[in-house]
Structure 1
């Protein structure tokens, strides 16, 4: 080159490399991420020590509501007392005196005894099992359940056409004796005071 800007000598000016902007941007992003994680961790610690966490509290409340037994499930079912149940004791077997003996034992346990006799033709010598408990439709979950505690293996039947509140105990061939009184009493207690069943509540 000539003229006014001629370069002389053996030394030349060094050209500085352009700075890399990409490295600066990466460092800035990394710094921001570290600060963000640190801030989030701080908020979590504050939540723990100050009793925060509405979502956790809400979840716990819902779980408690889901396992709370409803009043209807916990309430004992109303059943009649033995003295309020009139029982007709009918012998369908060939063993004499069985109906009277069974009626006497039921009377000792508080039941009211009605007719004591042989079973009608439709049952006489036709009941191979322990026996049959027979009553009106309304007695299935009331009187027949209470009587069934004394006669655990008996079959329960209802007659929709039947009137009144009396129930029949038809003694079958396999009958030997009533359920032991202690076991019968425990069964009656279980019927009157069932275990509460956990149910979910929609209002939670």
Structure 2
């Protein structure tokens, strides 16, 4: 009797290589790539946060206005006579439109150098006027116009308390830079 033999492929001998080192290398490579991408995304998030902060600062900062478009009522809430007239003359020389000069008709007690009163629609205008009176508080009331009241307080000193045009320009510069970054 004869036996039939089937042909089988020859069995290859093992080469002795282990698959573990290449797998470890690929795992390390994947971790490095993951670390790089995480760093890129984190930096992108930081840049977006900085840009958003600059935009928020630009929106909150007073905008430069043409003084001729700003109508101001100058009120004296101090014991110094002629204070409102002197400040109104100074602001008028700078180009502001002076609507009224008088003693403070509101009866509110004003402390410090003064306050800037405005309505909701005059918030930006009031912030601009407040640059001319550093230390003044902003006071919002219910008026519907953009009319602004500059009320001079007991700590106001003629020749010292009003900011110069250079000081106002310097105060507006960061807002303009922030707007450029936005």
- The verdict on a shared fold, with TM-score over 0.5 as the criterion, is yes
1:115 aligns with 100
Note the C-alpha offset of 1:107: 2.7
Question: Per the alignment, in what secondary structure is the counterpart of residue 134 of structure 1?
Answer: strand
> 1-side partners of 2:180 and 2:46: how far apart?
11
Q: Which runs of 5+ in 2 are unaligned?
A: 1-15
> 1-side partners of 2:87 and 2:127: how far apart?
18
Q: Alignment partner for residue 90 of structure 1, among 67, 71, 75? A: 75
| 8 Å contact kept, 1:134–1:156 | yes
2:87 aligns with 102
Q: Alignment partner for residue 131 of structure 2, among 140, 144, 149? A: 149
Q: TM-score when scaled to structure 1? A: 0.62
Number of matched pairs: 158
Moved over 6 A (4+): 195-198
Query: What do the CA deviations read for 1:108-132 (whole angstroms, capped 9, x no partner)?
Result: 3332221112221514xx4232111
> 2-side partners of 1:43 and 1:191: how far apart?
50
> 2-side partners of 1:87 and 1:136: how far apart?
13
2:121 aligns with 138
Note the C-alpha offset of 1:73: 4.8
How do 1:42-191 and structure 2 match up within 5 A?
A: 43=26, 47=29, 54-69=33-48, 73-75=53-55, 76-77=58-59, 79=63, 81-83=65-67, 84-120=69-105, 122-123=107-108, 126-140=109-123, 142-160=124-142, 162-176=143-157, 177-191=161-175
The higher radius of gyration belongs to 1
> Aligned-residue CA RMSD in angstroms?
3.4
Q: TM-score when scaled to structure 2? A: 0.68
Q: Which runs of 5+ in 1 are unaligned?
A: 1-30, 199-204
